[in-house]
Amino acid sequence: MQTRADVAMKAVTYVLLIICSAGMLLPLLWMVSSALKPNYEVFQFPPQWIPSPVQWSNFPRALNFVPFLQFFWNTILIAVGSLVGSLISNIMVGYAFARLEARGKNVLFYVMLSTLMLPYAVTMIPQYAIFSQLHWVNTFWPLIVPAYFGNPFFIFLLRQFFLGIPRELEDAAAIDGAGVFTTIWRIILPLSWPAIIVVCIFQIQATWNDLLGPLLYLNKESLFTLQLGLQYFVGQYTGGWNLLMAASTVILIPVLVMFYFGQRLFIKGIIVGGVKG
C-alpha cells in the first residue's frame, strides 16, 4: 500500500516531467506558430503564440519559393541508399562480433568502439580528399557509400541485442543445415526488429537533418537536399522568416511520423540493446 509520502513523491515527479516536457516543446510550438503568422509578427514582443490572422498560405508559398519537390526526392534517395548500406554492414559486423569466434575479436571490437571518440571534424578533410580523388564531388556517393562501412554505435547496439538471443535457436538451425547467412535471415532478423528499428530511425534522422555533408559535397542546385534548401530562406529570402518556419515544419513532419509509429520498438531496442551482454 502506498503511503502519502510515496504519492507526494510521484506527484512531484510527474509535475517536474510535465514542466521539462513543456520546456522542450516550446521551440516546436514557436516554429509552428511562426509558420502561420504574417512575417511582421514572428519577432513581436511579447510573443503572440496564437497567430492572428492565421496564414495557411505560408505553406504553399514556402514550398513554391524553392524547387522543394526536387530537394525532397534528393533527400529520399540519399536516405534510402544510406539506410540500406547501414543495415547490411552493421547487421553483418554486429553478428560477427556477437557470435563468430576469431582470434583478437575482442581487441578489434574495442578498437572499433574507440573510433566513437573521433569527431567528424577530424575525418572530414581526409574523407573529402579521398572523394575528390575519386571524382565523387557533386554526386550523392560521398553521402551514401560511407554507410556501407558500418557505424560503431549501431554495431555495438546490434551486437548487444544479438547476445541476448538464445544460441539454441541457431544451433537448431545449424542442425537443419542452415548456414550463417540463412541463420541471420531466418532466425536473427525476425527476433531483432526492435534493434533494427532503432538503427533505421537514427540513420534516417541523421541523413534527413544532415547539413554539413551536403554542404561539403554538393554544389549544383539540382542535387541539393532539404537542409540546403532551407538556406535559401536564410540567405536570399531573409525577409521571409515565416516562410522559413513553414518549410521547416513540413520537413519535420516525416521524421515525427516515423518516430511516432516506431516509438515502442525504438524504446525497447534501446533498453534491451543497452543491457544485454
pLDDT tens digits along 18-42 = 888 888 888 888 888 888 888 777 7
Own/partner long-range contacts of 230-233 (Cβ < 8 Å, ≥24 apart): 232/65, 232/66, 233/62, 233/65, 233/66
Return the domain boundaries, the chain: 65-275
Which tens digits make up the pLDDT trace of 3-19? 777 778 888 888 898 88
Cα dihedral 69/262/199/267 (nearest 10): 140
- 5-9, 201-205, 220-224, 245-249: which range is least confident on average? 5-9
What is the residue-wise DSSP string for 217-253? Answer: H--SGGG--HHHHHHHHHHTTTT-HHHHHHHHHHHHH
Nearest-angstrom CA–CA distance, 27 and 252: 13
What is the residue-wise DSSP string for 156-174? Answer: HHHHHHHHTS-HHHHHHHH
pLDDT score, position 78: 95
Decide if pLDDT at 238 tops 60: no
Residue at grid coordinates 543497452:
274
Amino acid found at 57: S
Which tens digits make up the pLDDT trace of 38-87? 877 777 778 777 887 788 888 888 888 778 889 999 999 999 999 999 99
Decide if pLDDT at 219 tops 80: yes
Decide if pLDDT at 159 tops 80: yes
- Sequence-ordered alpha helix ranges (H) in the chain: 4-35, 58-65, 68-99, 105-114, 120-133, 141-144, 152-163, 167-175, 180-183, 189-191, 193-208, 212-217, 226-235, 241-275
DSSP 8-state code for residue 4? H
DSSP 8-state code for residue 115? G
The grid coordinates of residue 176 equal 537443419
The grid coordinates of residue 262 equal 516506431
The grid coordinates of residue 150 equal 558500418
pTM here?
0.83
Decide if pLDDT at 239 tops 60: no
Which tens digits make up the pLDDT trace of 195-216? 888 899 899 989 998 999 999 9
Between the alpha carbon of residue 112 and those of residues 107, 148, 155, the distances in Å are 9, 15, 9
Mean pLDDT of the chain: 85
pLDDT score, position 265: 67
Superfamily of domain 65-275 in CATH is MetI-like (1.10.3720.10)
Residues 247, 233 contacting (CB under 8 angstroms): yes
Residues 206, 144 contacting (CB under 8 angstroms): no
The distance from CA 203 to its chain's CA centroid, rounded to whole angstroms, is: 4
Amino acid found at 87: L
Q: With H, G, I as helix, E, B as strand and everything else as coil, classify residue 95.
A: helix
Q: Which residues contact 90 (CB under 8 A, 6 or more apart)?
A: 150, 151, 154, 155, 158, 199
Integer Rg of the chain from CA: 23
Average pLDDT score over residue span 109-135: 91
Amino acid found at 154: F
